[in-house]
Structure 1
Amino acid sequence: MTVRFRRRQGGWVRFWVPILPVALVFSPVLLLAAVGGTVACLVYRISPTRAFGVGWRLLYALGGTRIEIEQARMGLLLHFR
């Protein structure tokens, strides 16, 4: 994922965020989110397997997505590769 944001002075700052190492660092939080999601699926009578499959397809489809936010002289660009 590439992140760019515009500073108030007008210059852009760009940096690359590697998704896999970030996911490994936050894996305990992701594990708790998976358990919470499974419990929520069971409470609302949704198949956890199907919900996981839909979530995986959603993450897989993010490739090529660009999110641009601009307000006044500030800007943010997220680009998923």
Structure 2
Amino acid sequence: MIPQLVTVRHRRANGRWLRFYVPVLPVLLVLSPLLLLAVIGGLVACHIFKVSAVGAVRGLGRLLWALPGSRFEIEEGRMAFQVSVR
């Protein structure tokens, strides 16, 4: 199952949280021309560095499959940044 929604939270200097909701599918559709170029560039890089392209695509697929339910949090001083993938 691919991720459906990414929630990004950023704590401002005044202590208030700023929250963004990013739907994955519409963003993916809008950026699909760039995604095609990235895939072609990745295949060329696999060829240059002699890495199995099938293995690289399979690894990327496993990474995307494991993303739903993940949370990333970074906090340093008064700044905090959280990303939640659903």
TM-score (norm 1): 0.90
Counterpart code for 1:38: L
Q: How many angstroms does 1:72 deviate by?
A: 1.8
Which residue number in structure 1 is paired with residue 22 of structure 2? 17
Which residue number in structure 1 is paired with residue 8 of structure 2? 3
Structure with more strand by fraction: 2
> What is the number of equivalent residue pairs in this alignment?
81
User: What are the equivalent positions in structure 2 for 1:22-61 lying under 5 Å apart?
Assistant: 22-61=27-66
The two structures, once aligned, show a CA RMSD in angstroms of 1.1
TM-score (norm 2): 0.85
Counterpart code for 2:35: L
How far apart, in 1, do the equivalents of 2:58 and 2:16 lie? 41
Which residue number in structure 2 is paired with residue 77 of structure 1? 82
Q: How many angstroms does 1:36 deviate by?
A: 0.7
How far apart, in 1, do the equivalents of 2:45 and 2:33 lie? 18
Point out where structure 2 has 5 or more consecutive residues left out of the alignment. 1-5
How far apart, in 1, do the equivalents of 2:46 and 2:20 lie? 36
Counterpart code for 1:67: F
The sequence identity of aligned pairs, in percent, is: 52
Point out where structure 1 has 5 or more consecutive residues left out of the alignment. none
**Alpha-carbon displacement from aligned partner over 1:3-37 (angstroms, at most 9, x marks no partner):** 11111111112221101111111112111110011
How far apart, in 2, do the equivalents of 1:46 and 1:7 lie? 42
